[in-house]
């Protein structure tokens, strides 16, 4: 006889019949998928990263230099908070532990990467900073070296977000050093 699944644990494939994305409420679905970019194929994570890099480029292009770092930090914080919440809603609704279309973690990761690029460099060459940030983040997000891979073990929405924040930090160190 199968054991009952505790309410505190996440559902597994054996425990749950997967439900369609149309059952995920609209607001958390839009946030988690970065306005639907997570549904693009192939490589939804790359599309989600691009969805983050474009507004980041605009921010680097038009924001006054003293606002660059605080604006990116606020963006990372907000993306993380709403990312954990919306990821949890998607996990609960679909029954999938780390749903592929959820790319809000890529948004937070790209913006975290850009935090490490010197603001003077970002303002002087916003397109270059955005491209280097995007590429270095994708490298660390795909390869997931330790300790990034260990962060995926956090529960539910925190696990979805934590590994990409870790990838963003390591990618930011690389990108910041490359652009100094």
pLDDT digits 0-9 by tens, 82-121: 999 999 999 999 988 888 999 999 999 999 999 999 999 9
Assign 20 a pLDDT band (cuts: 50, 70, 90). confident
The answer to whether 114 touches 56, Cβ cutoff 8 Å, is: yes
pLDDT for 1: 41
Mean pLDDT over 132-136 rounds to: 97
Q: What is residue 6's predicted lDDT score, i.e. its pLDDT? A: 42
Per-residue pLDDT, averaged over 124-140, amounts to: 97
At residue 9, the pLDDT reads 52
Each residue's pLDDT tens digit, 31-88: 999 999 999 999 999 999 999 999 999 999 999 999 999 999 999 999 999 999 999 9
Reply yes or no on whether the pLDDT at 155 is more than 80: yes
Long-range contacts of 69-75 (CB under 8 A, 24+ apart): 69/115, 69/119, 72/111, 72/114, 72/115, 73/115, 75/111
The separation between the first and the last C-alpha atoms of the chain, rounded to the nearest angstrom, is 61
Ramachandran assignment for 155, one of left (phi > 0), alpha (psi -120 to 50 degrees), beta (any other): beta
The kind and range of the H/E element at 163 are: helix 156-178
162 three-class SS:
helix
> Is residue 11's pLDDT more than 50?
no
Band (pLDDT 50/70/90 cuts) for residue 7 is very low
pLDDT at position 18? 61
User: In the prediction, which pLDDT does 30 show?
Assistant: 94
For residue 110, with 0-12 CB atoms within 10 Å meaning exposed, 13-18 middle and 19 or more buried, which class applies?
buried
Neighbouring residues of 46: CB distance < 8 A, sequence distance ≥ 6? 138
The string over 33-58, giving b where at least 16 C-beta atoms fall within 10 Å of a residue's C-beta and e elsewhere, is bbeebbebeeebbbbbbbbbbeebbe
pLDDT band for position 161 (cuts 50, 70, 90) = very high
Residue with tokens 């006054």: 64
Exposed (0-12), middle (13-18) or buried (19+): which is 8, by Cβ within 10 Å? exposed
pLDDT value of position 137:
97
Task: Give the three-class secondary structure for 119.
Answer: helix
């Amino acid at each position: 006889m199968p054991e009952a699944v505790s309410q505190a644990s996440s559902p597994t494939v054996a425990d749950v019949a997967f439900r369609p994305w149309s059952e995920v409420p609209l607001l958390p679905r839009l946030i988690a998928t970065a306005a639907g970019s997570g549904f693009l194929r192939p490589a939804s994570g790359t599309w989600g990263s691009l969805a983050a890099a474009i507004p980041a480029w605009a921010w680097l292009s038009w924001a006054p230099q003293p606002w660059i770092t605080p604006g990116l930090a606020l963006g990372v914080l907000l993306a993380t908070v709403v990312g954990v919440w919306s990821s949890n809603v998607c996990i609960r609704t679909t029954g999938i532990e780390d749903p592929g279309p959820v790319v809000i973690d890529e948004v937070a990761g790209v913006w975290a990467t850009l935090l490490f690029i010197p603001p003077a460099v970002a303002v002087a060459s916003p397109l270059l900073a955005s491209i280097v940030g995007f590429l270095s983040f994708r490298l660390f997000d795909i390869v997931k070296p330790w300790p990034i891979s260990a962060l995926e073990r956090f529960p539910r929405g925190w696990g979805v977000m934590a590994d990409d924040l870790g990838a963003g930090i390591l990618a930011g160190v690389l990108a910041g050093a490359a652009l100094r």
